[in-house]
Each structure stands twice: as structure tokens, then as C-alpha cells.
């Protein structure tokens, strides 16, 4: 696997491909959109809760790449209604989907519930993306059916937090209607990132025509750490750590860009920078937890109008 990856040189021609990136208005999502736009996809859908900043990003890209075909979709992953509207708009506009980058997320935030009453980090990072994927996955499967050689991919942004901060006991799905689950914002974050890895593994198992991976971007100098909530020692520890050792958002985007475009990517794997397949924790590789999460997620999404997972 590569130790280096230069998106400018190493991403091939994306002509004809349709790509959707969540959280593409800031951080590593913005860096991902900028890098992909350089390679001329047929259309790049930038999903963002804040469409004002999304428009600013697109205008900036078009200053040097005026032909870039980018569509902005409003998406609030804490609201199932917003997710359904976003998916419906995308499905109405596009006849294909080649690359799905589930990048958006929150981390180490104050206790809160989503609109549907789920712990917010888990609800946004996992459940929201699960519903979005369920709603637009038929488009990806149809893309592959029409073109059996089509290289269709999903990559999910996870974190080393899945291995370091998630509860050692595994999943605590019964507590996901409690904003204060685990009593620690860092543990809630790790729990949601563990779900990202397990979700990607199950997608890879059920949909072999799609290359599905999860990735850790590295410790990135991103605005996500500026919204940290928790005991003062966490800020005292992480602020200098991020400042001294964190990488830029452009560098942090490289692993998911690699997973979305490079040769040699293996479905179902979890990758750390850059393109290094890592075993991770025992929980992150547990088939029992993978199946438990999938079934729980299926039932919860169905309660709120999810259509169910399409046949492979």
C-alpha cells in the first residue's frame, strides 16, 4: 500500500462519473471536493447543512476550474426529513452514482439528541448516513447493473477513535436514546466511529459489486476539535496535540480520496493514512457486533419511514 498519495497526479480521469460527498463544505470534506473536482467528474454533488458556506466553496473552486460541474444539496444528518429530501432531490437529478463519500460528522460535542431522539454523535455519524445510503444505494446498484465493469465505491470516514475511545464492552445500542450515554463525549464519539467501521464492513458483505471501505484521516487540524465538549483536561490535552502534530485538511483527505479512486483498494477493509489496511480493535472486527448493529439500524430506520435495504 502507498506511503504517499498525490491527489493531483494519482487520481485518474473521472470523466462520466457521478460523485456525492457529505459534509463537503468544510474540513476534509471540502478538501475532498476540491481534489475530485480537478479530475472532471460528470457531476459532483456537495451535500452540506450550511449551504451558504457550500456556495462559497463552489465559487472558489470555479475561480480556477470554471467548468467544474458541482451541485449543492442541503443535508442535515440530524434530521431524517432533511435526509429524505436530500436523497429525493439527488435521485430526481441523477441517473447514476459511482462514488459515495460519507464524510460528514461531528465529534466530542455536548450531549444532545437528534430530531428523532437519538444520541447526536451516533445519530449523525452513523444513523443519518445509514438512512441516506439506504435511499440512494439503488442508484449505485443500477449503475453497476447497466455497466458491469463500472467501478462503484462507498467510503465511510471513521477514526482511530473507534479503536481507542469506544467502550471496550462493544456497542450500547439500548442507550442510544440517551443524550448522556456513557457520560463521556469522547466515548460517545468513539462509539459512533466504531459503528462507521462495522457499517462499512456489512455493506461490503451484502453488496459485493460495490467496493466499500472505512478510513481514518489522521489527526487533522479541523474545526471539529474547536467544538469539543467535556472536561477541561481534554481541551488542555488535545489543543496542543492537534496544533503540534495535526495535519492539514488537504492531507487528511488523502486516505479517503485514495479509497475512493485508487487501484488495489480491498472492499470491507479499514484504512489508515495513507492506504494502510489496519486490523483495529477486536470489536471493530467482530461479526457479531457487525450483525447486531445492522439489524438494530434496520429496525430503527424503518420506524421513521426507511424503505429497507435493496436486494444486491
Q: pLDDT digits over 274-303, tens only?
A: 999 998 899 999 999 999 999 999 999 999
pLDDT for position 222: 60
Report helix, strand or coil for 243: helix
Residue 59 belongs to what domain range? 7-219+249-303
pLDDT for position 5: 94
Q: Does residue 310 form part of some domain? A: no
pLDDT for position 94: 98
65 vs 277: CA distance, rounded Å: 34
* Band of residue 238 on the pLDDT scale cut at 50, 70, 90: low
Decide if pLDDT at 155 tops 80: yes
pLDDT for position 4: 84
Decide if pLDDT at 231 tops 60: no
Q: Does residue 236 form part of some domain? A: no
CATH number of the domain that 291 lies in?
Answer: 3.40.50.720
* Mean pLDDT, range 109-124, rounded to an integer: 96
Q: Does residue 61 form part of some domain? A: yes
85 vs 128: CA distance, rounded Å: 13
| Annotated catalytic residue 159 | yes
What are residue 74's DSSP bridge partners? Answer: 48
Using an 8 Å Cβ cutoff, are 26 and 104 in contact? no
Q: Does residue 234 form part of some domain? A: no
User: 270-272 and 276-277: which strand pairing?
Assistant: antiparallel
User: Catalytic residue among 45, 78, 79, 189, which?
Assistant: 189
Decide if pLDDT at 172 tops 70: yes
| Annotated catalytic residue 202 | no
pLDDT for position 279: 86
Q: Which residues contact 124 (CB under 8 A, 6 or more apart)?
A: 77, 78, 104, 105, 106, 114, 192
Q: How many residues does the chain have?
A: 312
Using an 8 Å Cβ cutoff, are 269 and 248 in contact? no
pLDDT for position 218: 84
Q: For the chain, what is the mean pLDDT?
A: 93
53 vs 291: CA distance, rounded Å: 38
User: Catalytic residue among 139, 193, 202, 269, which?
Assistant: 193
Number of domains comprising the chain = 1
Q: Does residue 140 form part of some domain? A: yes
Q: Does residue 230 form part of some domain? A: no
| Annotated catalytic residue 207 | no
Q: 38 exposed, middle or buried (CB, 10 Å; 0-12, 13-18, 19+)?
A: middle
User: Catalytic residue among 78, 82, 159, 192, which?
Assistant: 159
Q: pLDDT digits over 240-258, tens only?
A: 555 555 689 999 999 999 9
Q: Does residue 289 form part of some domain? A: yes
pLDDT for position 233: 47
Q: pLDDT digits over 184-200, tens only?
A: 899 999 999 999 999 99
Cell matching residue 229: 465538549
236 or 70, which is more confident?
A: 70
* Mean pLDDT, range 91-111, rounded to an integer: 95
Amino acid at each position: 500500500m502507498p506511503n504517499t498519495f498525490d491527489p493531483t497526479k494519482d487520481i485518474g480521469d473521472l470523466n462520466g462519473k457521478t460523485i456525492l460527498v457529505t459534509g463537503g463544505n468544510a474540513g476534509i470534506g471540502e478538501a475532498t471536493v476540491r481534489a475530485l473536482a480537478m479530475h472532471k467528474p460528470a457531476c459532483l454533488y456537495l451535500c452540506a447543512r450550511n449551504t451558504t458556506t457550500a456556495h462559497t466553496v463552489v465559487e472558489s473552486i470555479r475561480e480556477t476550474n470554471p467548468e467544474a460541474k458541482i451541485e449543492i444539496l442541503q443535508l442535515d444528518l440530524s434530521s431524517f426529513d432533511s435526509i429524505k429530501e436530500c436523497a429525493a432531490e439527488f435521485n430526481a437529478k441523477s441517473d447514476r452514482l459511482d462514488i459515495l463519500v460519507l464524510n460528514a460528522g461531528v465529534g466530542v460535542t455536548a450531549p444532545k439528541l437528534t430530531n428523532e431522539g437519538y444520541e447526536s454523535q451516533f445519530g449523525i455519524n452513523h444513523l443519518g448516513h445509514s438512512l441516506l445510503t439506504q435511499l440512494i444505494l439503488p442508484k449505485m446498484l443500477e449503475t453497476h447493473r447497466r455497466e458491469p465493469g463500472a467501478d462503484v465505491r462507498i467510503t465511510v470516514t471513521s477514526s482511530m477513535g473507534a479503536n481507542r475511545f469506544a467502550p471496550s464492552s462493544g456497542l450500547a445500542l439500548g442507550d442510544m436514546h440517551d443524550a448522556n450515554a456513557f457520560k463521556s463525549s469522547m466515548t460517545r464519539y468513539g462509539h459512533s466511529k466504531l459503528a462507521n467501521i462495522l457499517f462499512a464492513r456489512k455493506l461490503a458483505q451484502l453488496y459485493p459489486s460495490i467496493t466499500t471501505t472505512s478510513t481514518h484521516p489522521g489527526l487533522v487540524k479541523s474545526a471539529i476539535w474547536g467544538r469539543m465538549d467535556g472536561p477541561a483536561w481534554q481541551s488542555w490535552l488535545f489543543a496542543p496535540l492537534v496544533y503540534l502534530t495535526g495535519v492539514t485538511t488537504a492531507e487528511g483527505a488523502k486516505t479517503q480520496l485514495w479509497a475512493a479512486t485508487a487501484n488495489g483498494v480491498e472492499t470491507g477493509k479499514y484504512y489508515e493514512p495513507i492506504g494502510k489496511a489496519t486490523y483495529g480493535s477486536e470489536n471493530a472486527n467482530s461479526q457479531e457486533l457487525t450483525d447486531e448493529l445492522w439489524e438494530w439500524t434496520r429496525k430503527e430506520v424503518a420506524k421513521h419511514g426507511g424503505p429497507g435495504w435493496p436486494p444486491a
